[in-house]
Amino acid sequence: MSLPDVLRAALAEADRHDPKKAMPRSTFRFGDLSVAMRLHPSPALQRLLPMMRSGGVKAPPSSVVIDVVGGDVSWLRKLLPPPDRRGRTLLRANEDIYYLWLNEADGYLTAIDRGAARGLVWFTHPDKIASWHVARPFLHAIKGLSLPSPWTPIHAASVALNGRGVLIAGLSGAGKSSIAMTCALRGWDYLGDDAVLVRAGPARVAALYNSARLREDTFSRFPEVMAACLRVSDDAGESKAEIDMALMRPLTVGEAEISAILVPQPTDWTELHLRPISRSETLRKLMEAAQQSLIGDEPSTFAKLAAVVERVPCYGLVAGGDPEQLSCALSRLVEKRSAA
């Protein structure tokens, strides 16, 4: 049997475990995609739902169904990589299947049958689900489902003012969360600090999660945000505050036009500085960030992000040390774009 056939058999088996379709489903909307998560019985999996931005959407008939499974499940074993390869990241992404095995939480699999728009997420040890999964659940499933959609999930932050947003690109540690928090505390709508959806034609950004994560060295800079901290978790040896931004204020805006793309610049400067940068540099930074955490489908991701970059002005940003000044400068940027 080929891997897609093994996956189809597993998905058929998942349906047999829910013959009356009585298993609870939670439906979420991601851009133009409506996804019903069918959680198989396992209390640890319930932790994955609260941070989803669009909870409570009524399931349309066209919803894609993703089975979320935890533990040692006999009818999924054929999907496991051979034992000698389970310590590696394994990916197959083509028009038939998105299969991603990550050696974290003692084994985590996302498998999407792209032809049938069905899939599953399997935590082989649900008691070991990593904190970043709880903050950004099902991100790889969304990635696997997004291939035929104009939307693509990316590793970026975003905030918006009056429906016009800035997209903040960069690798982990570039300062995306700090810039997003600085703006969110000054009236901007929060769309995400680490993962959002984007599309071109027109260029838009959509929120995926309510969550934010702050590095320990930024805790003291954002006491108001820390008031919404659910817990501090260990992320590969680094302490991260897990924030529920909905506790700060209702998150009513889930989508915005992209008015500018910002790429934080590594520098010792302490003064705010914004300068236009080339589209090729911006696209490269967006792709680097995508490949850091959302691997697979690179040619398609490249084409989608190139179409966004083509339509939006791109800037290198040194955030400086004055949060008020930063928020004002970015306000002027989106207003300028609106006027243009």
Partner 1 sequence: MAVQYRLSSSKNVSARSFGDEVIAANFTRGVYYSLLGPAAQIWEGLIAGLPRDRVIAEVAALSEEDAGAFGAAAMSLVEALIEENLIEPADGIQPSAWTPVPAAAGAYGFPMLERFTDMEDLLLLDPVHDVEEMGWPHTNPPAQAG
Q: Which residues bind partner 1 (CB under 8 A)?
A: 1-6, 72, 74, 77-83, 85, 88-92, 99, 278-281, 283-284, 287-288, 291-292, 295-296, 298-299, 302-303, 306, 309-310
What is the smallest separation between the CB atom of 303 and partner 1, expressed in angstroms? 7
What is the smallest separation between the CB atom of 266 and partner 1, expressed in angstroms? 12
Nearer to partner 1 (CB atom), residue 99 or residue 188: 99
What is the smallest separation between the CB atom of 41 and partner 1, expressed in angstroms? 17
Q: Could you give the residue ranges of the DSSP H alpha helices within the chain?
A: 3-16, 131-135, 139-145, 176-184, 223-226, 279-293, 298-311, 323-339
Three-point CA angle 24, 28, 7, nearest 5°: 70
Helix axis angle for 279-293 and 298-311, nearest 10°, is 140
Nearer to partner 1 (CB atom), residue 35 or residue 111: 111
243: its two tokens: 């924030």
Nearer to partner 1 (CB atom), residue 291 or residue 325: 291
64: its two tokens: 């894609």
Task: Annotate 57-70 with three-state secondary structure.
Answer: CCCCCCCEEEEEEE
> Please, are residues 133 and 141 in contact by the beta-carbon 8 Å criterion?
no
Phi/psi at 281 (nearest 5 deg)?
A: -65, -40
Nearer to partner 1 (CB atom), residue 200 or residue 251: 200
Return the percent helix, strand and coil in the chain, to nearest 5. Answer: 35, 30, 35
Nearer to partner 1 (CB atom), residue 306 or residue 329: 306
Question: What is the number of other CB atoms lying within 10 angstroms of the CB of residue 336?
Answer: 12
What is the smallest separation between the CB atom of 152 and partner 1, expressed in angstroms? 14
Chain-centre distance for alpha carbon 318 = 24
Nearer to partner 1 (CB atom), residue 303 or residue 328: 303
Nearer to partner 1 (CB atom), residue 127 or residue 298: 298
DSSP string, 212-272: EEEEGGGGGG-HHHHTTEEEEEEETTEEEEEEEGGGTS-----EEEEEEEEEEPP-S--S-
User: Can you tell me the distance from the alpha carbon of 203 to that of 160, in angstroms, rounded to the nearest whole number?
Assistant: 13
What is the smallest separation between the CB atom of 78 and partner 1, expressed in angstroms? 5
Nearer to partner 1 (CB atom), residue 217 or residue 288: 288
What is the smallest separation between the CB atom of 110 and partner 1, expressed in angstroms? 14
What is the smallest separation between the CB atom of 2 and partner 1, expressed in angstroms? 5
User: How far is CA 308 from each of CA 99, 124, 197, 262, 283, rounded to the nearest angstrom?
Assistant: 27, 37, 12, 13, 9
